[in-house]
């Protein structure tokens, strides 16, 4: 970003995004690309990552894709290495890769728990750690600015409460609560060199939530779509989220305007949960 002191400028920023093949991750990639960022996008589905990068390049952006299983430390580090190889540094890392499962608490098996925490929590940790190792050894974004930024995608599911759905998403809720805690620990550890914040979305209209609606409706004997309708009916803003709603907050956190913010986990959920 050089000497550009525009508090909203993202031009030339080097951004890594995990889980960028679909849903929120793909929306994040599109939003950052539209504002002039250069991207390294990854997904466990190589074809999906390639499709995102191809779309960004076709629109005139610099984008590199690779397959990454975030549970593997070497693969998490490979995404950081790709950013350095292609663009010389890594300015922002978005730890977005995640999964969801609807299953009653008492029916869960150890493998369900391990897979959820492996991707959602361990994956975020390994990605954050790999990114921070690079950022600590590179020049600041500009004089008086951090050396880099990490943004974790958590969830309002990691907050207290959640109502009836809590009984069928226990591992997911545990993983996202832990991501919020990880964000705080990393922010303390890495300040003032690197800022670490988390975004907590609510009901984002993606394939993940469509799958949740299908599975939870089946458990309750409801028609498909009814669970989603009921959940959205409780949103004060009167509609579900889209990926661009989440991206707006991510763009702010990545910008110079948020250089003094660290250790925060911010709800963006249309008013479902108010602090």
What's 186's domain CATH number? 3.40.50.720
Residue 172 bears catalytic tag: yes
Contact 28, 97 (CB under 8 A): no
Closest-CA residue to 78 (of 45, 46, 70, 60): 70
Q: Check whether residue 194 and residue 102 sit in a common domain.
A: yes
Q: Which residues contact 114 (CB under 8 A, 6 or more apart)?
A: none
Residue 75 domain boundaries: 14-202+242-267
β-pairing verdict for 148-153 and 194-201: parallel
Q: Is residue 274 part of a domain?
A: no
Phi then psi dihedrals of residue 36, to 5 deg: 90, 10
Output the six-digit token pair for 26. 């793909």
Q: What does the alpha-carbon distance between residue 264 and residue 242 come to, in Å, rounded to a whole number?
A: 22
Q: What does the alpha-carbon distance between residue 62 and residue 64 come to, in Å, rounded to a whole number?
A: 7
Is the peptide bond between 192 and the residue preceding it cis, with omega within 30 degrees of 0?
A: yes
Closest-CA residue to 152 (of 132, 170, 127, 172): 127
Q: Check whether residue 213 and residue 115 sit in a common domain.
A: no
| Options 32, 87, 125, 172, the catalytic residue | 172
Q: Is residue 188 part of a domain?
A: yes
Q: What does the alpha-carbon distance between residue 197 and residue 175 come to, in Å, rounded to a whole number?
A: 16
Q: What is the pLDDT along the chain (275 residues), one digit of tens a residue?
A: 444 457 778 999 999 999 999 999 999 999 999 999 999 999 999 999 999 999 999 999 999 999 999 999 999 999 999 999 999 999 999 999 999 999 999 999 999 999 999 999 999 999 999 999 999 999 999 999 999 999 999 999 999 877 778 999 999 999 999 999 999 999 999 999 999 999 999 989 877 767 777 876 777 788 888 877 888 888 999 999 999 999 999 999 999 999 999 999 999 999 998 88
DSSP notation for 188-203: HHHTTTEEEEEEEE--
Q: Which residues contact 163 (CB under 8 A, 6 or more apart)?
A: none
Output the six-digit token pair for 86. 């292609």
Output the pTM of the full model: 0.94
Q: Check whether residue 96 and residue 27 sit in a common domain.
A: yes
Q: Check whether residue 193 and residue 224 sit in a common domain.
A: no
Closest-CA residue to 76 (of 22, 134, 130): 130
Q: Check whether residue 193 and residue 210 sit in a common domain.
A: no
């Amino acid at each position: 970003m050089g000497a550009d002191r525009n508090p909203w400028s993202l031009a030339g920023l080097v951004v890594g995004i995990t889980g960028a093949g679909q849903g929120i991750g793909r929306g994040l990639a599109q939003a950052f690309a539209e504002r002039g960022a250069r991207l390294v996008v990854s997904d466990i589905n190589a074809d999906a990552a390639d499709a995102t990068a191809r779309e960004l390049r076709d629109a005139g952006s610099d984008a590199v894709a690779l397959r990454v299983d975030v549970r593997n430390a070497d693969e998490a580090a490979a995404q950081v290495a790709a950013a350095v190889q292609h663009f010389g540094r890594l300015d922002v890392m978005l730890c977005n890769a995640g999964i969801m499962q609807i299953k009653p608490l008492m029916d869960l098996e150890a493998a369900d728990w391990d897979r959820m925490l492996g991707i959602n929590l361990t994956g975020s940790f390994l990605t954050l750690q790999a990114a921070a190792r690079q950022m600590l050894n590179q020049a600041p974004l500009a004089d008086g600015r951090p050396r880099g930024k990490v943004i974790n995608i958590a969830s309002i599911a990691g907050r207290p409460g959640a109502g009836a759905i809590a009984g069928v998403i226990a591992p997911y809720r545990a993983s996202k609560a832990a991501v919020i805690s990880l964000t705080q620990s990393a922010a303390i550890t890495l300040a003032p060199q690197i800022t670490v914040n988390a975004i907590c979305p609510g009901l984002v209209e993606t394939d993940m939530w469509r799958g949740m609606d299908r599975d939870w409706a089946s458990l309750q004997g409801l028609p498909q779509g009814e669970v989603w309708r009921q959940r959205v009916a409780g949103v004060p803003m009167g509609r579900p989220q889209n990926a661009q709603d989440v991206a707006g907050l991510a763009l702010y956190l990545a910008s110079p305007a948020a250089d003094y913010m660290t250790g925060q986990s911010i709800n963006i959920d249309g008013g479902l949960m108010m602090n």
